Amino acid sequence: MKTIFIVGSSRSGTTMMGRILGRHSAVFTFNELHFFEQLWDPTGSKQALSPDEAAWLGARLLTIQRDGYYTQKDPWIYLEEGKQLVRNLGKLIHPLTVFKAMMDYETNRNGKQVACDQTPRNVLYLREILDLHPEAYIVHMIRDSRDVLLSQKNRWRRRFLGGNAMPLREIIRSWANYHPITISMLWNSAIHSADKFRDHPHVFQLKFEDFIMEPKGRLEQLCAFVGLEFHLDMLQVTQVGSSHEYDKQEQTGIRQTAAGRWQRDTINQFDLAVCQYMTRPNLLKLHYDTPSYLDATPLQLMAARLTWPVKISVAFLLNINRVRNLYQAIRRRWDLPKSEEILQGN
């Protein structure tokens, strides 16, 4: 079965692109499944599962998909279906095989032929994905780090802008996760991780801003790349998911105001300056403008270094139960060279 993985830094347009592709008659777009890290540890010593363990993993994936990541139910409800989808996989089953089987099962169940996963953090697991799905297509969404930062800073507002499924604990976690150093590190890590595969024949890089400004032409290119017939109606998605504006269920199309918000922002200059300093090499490589008025001062960098340890400590406590292997999760996210530079004050 053809599979598409939409990846990138969080708040880079992955959900939007998943919804656009999901409007194609052949494509079934999944919710964010968070299989890598949260349900499977790639360095774990026990790689093979018994049929019962595999069925339980399949049931967990099914409740995330059908009930939502924030509102998932007891996997026991889907255990019989979990047993069904792993029935012919053997006596010792690899977790990645269960993941693929669930995607094929759910796509077929919905009468579609192409599975589309749009979990952003999968950008950190491209090697594992391409090993599992050598025929898969990767769509790497790239967005200006400063717009990503502003969207992440306001992410807690989603509950009040139309994201009613966002529980209070997620609002608190979103607040704790935000700091200009943290967001900049994560953005750099996503760029560096995907850059290793930029020449891979099944990897398509798409800048969010290019797509917003020319959605028809860019989507035609993407459809040709993944082997889908382009339909103009694919662009008629509802305008939802923004961290800055209320959801507009009655309006469809691509919201062009989502690009370049950092250039119009007047109240987050401190955060934007730190972000531009930390991500400048990648911004320049990707042909983004880095104006001098956003050059961070030594005082701003010192203030960022002083406040970051407190925020990252709280974030650590709130996220510790969300990953299978905390060390590996941190290692994949940590943009070491630039992070050490700013934390040491160089």
Residue 250: pLDDT over 80: no
Buried (b) or exposed (e) across 133-144, using 16+ Cβ within 10 A?
beebbbbbbbbb
Half-sphere exposure of 303 (CA within 13 A, CB side): 10
Range of the domain at 282: 261-344
Nearest to 241 by CA among 222, 254, 227: 254
Instruction: State pTM to two decimals.
Output: 0.89
Distance, CA of 51 to CA of 72 (rounded, Å): 22
Mean pLDDT for 289-310 is 95
Half-sphere exposure of 332 (CA within 13 A, CB side): 23
Top pLDDT among 318 and 46 is at 318
Pairing of strands 238-239, 114-117: unpaired
Numbers of helices and strands, H then E, in the chain: 16, 7
Same domain for 74 and 223, yes or no, is: yes
Which H or E run contains 114? strand 114-117
Domain count along the chain: 2
Q: Is residue 66, in this structure, part of any structural domain at all? A: yes
Residues 6+ apart with CB under 8 A from 180: 149, 270, 271, 272, 274, 275, 278, 304
Q: Do the Cβ atoms of 164 and 186 come closer than 8 Å?
A: no
Please say which residue of 235, 257, 279 terminates a domain: 257
Please say which residue of 238, 257, 276 terminates a domain: 257
Same domain for 110 and 253, yes or no, is: yes
User: Amino acid identity, residue 284?
Assistant: L
Same domain for 246 and 319, yes or no, is: no
Residue 177: pLDDT over 90: no
Same domain for 112 and 136, yes or no, is: yes
Q: How far, in Å, are 138, 287, 316 from residue 120 at the CA level?
A: 11, 22, 20
pLDDT digits (tens, 9 = 90+) for 88-134: 888 889 999 999 999 999 999 999 999 999 999 999 999 989 988 88
Interhelix angle 336-344/180-195, rounded to 10 degrees, is: 150
Q: What is the CA radius of gyration of the chain?
A: 20
Tally the residues of the chain.
Answer: 346
pLDDT digits (tens, 9 = 90+) for 260-291: 999 999 999 999 999 999 999 999 999 999 99
Same domain for 56 and 114, yes or no, is: yes
Please give the distance of CA 12 from its chain centroid, rounded to a whole number. Answer: 8
Q: Do the Cβ atoms of 95 and 43 come closer than 8 Å?
A: no
Residue 160: pLDDT over 60: no
Same domain for 108 and 198, yes or no, is: yes
Same domain for 228 and 303, yes or no, is: no
Please give the distance of CA 188 from its chain centroid, rounded to a whole number. Answer: 14
User: Amino acid identity, residue 178?
Assistant: Y
